[in-house]
Amino acid sequence: MECQFSHSDFSQATLFEVAVSEGNFTGANFRSANLSNQRGSTGFWQQSNFTGADFTNANLSGVQDRGGDVFTGAIWANTICPDGTNSDAHGHTCIGHF
């Protein structure tokens, strides 16, 4: 089932253990959001569209990418990548650090 969240504002949200499949998050604002899986849970993203999403200062620690996700034009600035590293250390991207 596809979830439609294009251009939604998740800034400063705390969303633990989120499992999303076929979500549309085109242009969504995740600035300073905490999407980490702090409880060692099963949070994952799969076949979702994050084109143009803004992950500035977001925490994605522990999020699993199960494939098929699109991040074209996503903004990664001071983002904690799923592997715990900082996007700024990887040329301002978390691609390859899930």
- Between 78 and 68, the more confident residue is 78
- Between 70 and 66, the more confident residue is 70
pLDDT digits (tens, 9 = 90+) for 3-53: 899 999 999 999 877 778 889 999 999 999 998 875 555 567 888 999 999
CA dihedral defined by 30, 32, 34, 36, rounded to 10 degrees? Answer: 80
Q: What is the 3-state secondary structure (H, E, C) of 8-76?
A: CECCCCECCCCEEECEECCCCECCCCECCCCCCCCCEEECCECCCCECCCCECCCCEECCCCECCCCEC
* pLDDT for residue 1: 53
For domain 1-98, give the fold: Pectate Lyase C-like (2.160.20)
pTM value is 0.91
The ranges assigned to domains in the chain are 1-98
